[in-house]
Every structure is written in structure tokens, then in C-alpha cells.
Amino acid sequence: MRASDLQKLVIASNNTGKIREISHLLGPLGFEVLPQSDFKVPEVDEPHRTFIENAIVKARHACERTGLRSLADDSGICVNALNGEPGVLSARYAGEPKSDERNNRKLIDALANLADRRAHYYCVIVLLRNADDPQPVIADGIWHGQIVSDRRGEGGFGYDPYFFLPDLGKTAAELPMDQKNRISHRGQALARLLARLAENAF
């Protein structure tokens, strides 16, 4: 299956920032990218401890509800000094309702007395052709940086204003979207996904 063969593709997410990034990357390549909210698909529980399991659950749920191909990503930030937390709980780190501001404050407080600020964003993307697809297309990406205590930048979403990139001297929230999409965990995963599709192996 070539990328050009894909038509409608449902994004199994209600996260507006995530949908915007994925649409920005896939739209110019001929994909008709549709958020699951267009089909009134509700969010599904993400009960698993790994990103890959949660991504498959989300993609399958969207396929079942829409009958269309579905793409889901599960992503989050993993902090070395916190044994990988927030990890799969990144979006709900500070509890419900989800709040970027409260999540970031909890993370900064957790690191207040710790010298090791290394962290990485991780993203895994799953593409299912139908709900019973036995061979999902899977790709992932990882983006290394460190956590800073003070907010910098107004772009991006999630932990971006506190995710500092030493090589660039900026946080993820200070990067133009095009640059962020080229180097981010999600950008890497999408590039690898497209490369797999272009291999015509599916």
C-alpha cells in the first residue's frame, strides 16, 4: 500500500494540538485527515502500561466506530530522574480534568530538588486498515532534551514550554512549527511510517 493509495484517514485523538501537528505533516501528502470528533467517536480508555498497547487500542476503537483506516499515536514525556514518569500518564499526570498547566507544575515540583533534568519525548504511531487488521503499521520516534523550571515560548502544547533542547538553545515551544515537525518525536515517527508505506510492503 503506497501513501498515495490512502484516502480518508481518521486520527484517533481529540487532542487539538496533536491533530494539528499530524494534519500539518500528512495533509500535503494527499491524505484526507479527519479527526475522530467528526464522527462523534469518544475517547477510549488507555489502560495499558506501554505506549504501543495504548496506541493500538485507540486506533482499533476509531476503526470500529468509523469503518475507515485509522491512525493513532500514543506519546508522552519520560524523565530519567523520575524513573520514566510521567510516561503513558503524561496527559493526565496531575489527574482529571486534563490540564497542561497543572501537569507542568507537578513535573517542575517533582524535579525541584533533583539535579538530573534529562528527559525525552517518545511517540509511537499505529496505522490500522480495519479493526481486525492483523498487521498494523507501526513506527516510533524519540526526542531528547531536558526539563527547565521556567516556561519559555508560546508554541506547541503539553510540556513543550519546559522541554529544552541544548543543541538549539530553545524549548520546543520556541520552535517554528515546521522546524519542530522535522525533528520532534512525532515528526520522526510519521517520517518512518511514510517510509514503511512507501516500501509497498502493506
Residue ranges per domain, the chain? Answer: 3-198
Amino acid identity for residue 114 in this structure = L
Q: Tens digit of pLDDT per residue, the chain (202 long)?
A: 444 444 789 999 888 888 888 888 777 777 888 999 999 999 898 899 999 999 999 999 999 999 999 999 999 999 999 999 999 999 999 999 999 999 999 999 999 999 999 999 999 999 999 999 999 999 999 999 999 999 999 998 999 999 999 999 999 999 999 999 899 999 999 999 988 877 754 4
Class of domain 3-198: alpha beta
Predicted TM-score (pTM) of this structure: 0.89
- Helices 185-198 and 16-26: crossing angle in degrees, nearest 10, is 40
What pLDDT, on a 0 to 100 scale, did the predictor assign at position 200? 58
CA–CA dist 55, 10 (Å, integer): 13
- pLDDT at residue 1, as a whole number: 42
Instruction: Write out the catalytic residue numbers.
Output: 74
Q: What angle do CA 130, 135, 141 make, to 5 degrees?
A: 100
Taking CA 22 as the corner, what is the angle to CA 43 and CA 191, rounded to the nearest 5 degrees? 125
Instruction: State the cell numbers at 104.
Output: 507542568
pLDDT value of residue 92: 94
Give the per-residue pLDDT at 3.
43
DSSP β-bridge partners for residue 74: 124
- Predicted pLDDT of residue 29: 73
* Residue that the C-alpha cell 517542575 belongs to: 108
Classify 181 as helix, strand or coil. helix
Please tell me the predicted confidence (pLDDT) of residue 93.
98
| CA distance linking residue 50 with residue 141, whole number of Å | 14
At 53, which helix (H) or strand (E)?
A: helix 51-66
pLDDT on residue 109: 98
For residue 2, what pLDDT is reported? 44
Exposed/middle/buried for residue 192 (C-beta within 10 Å: 0-12, 13-18, 19+)? middle
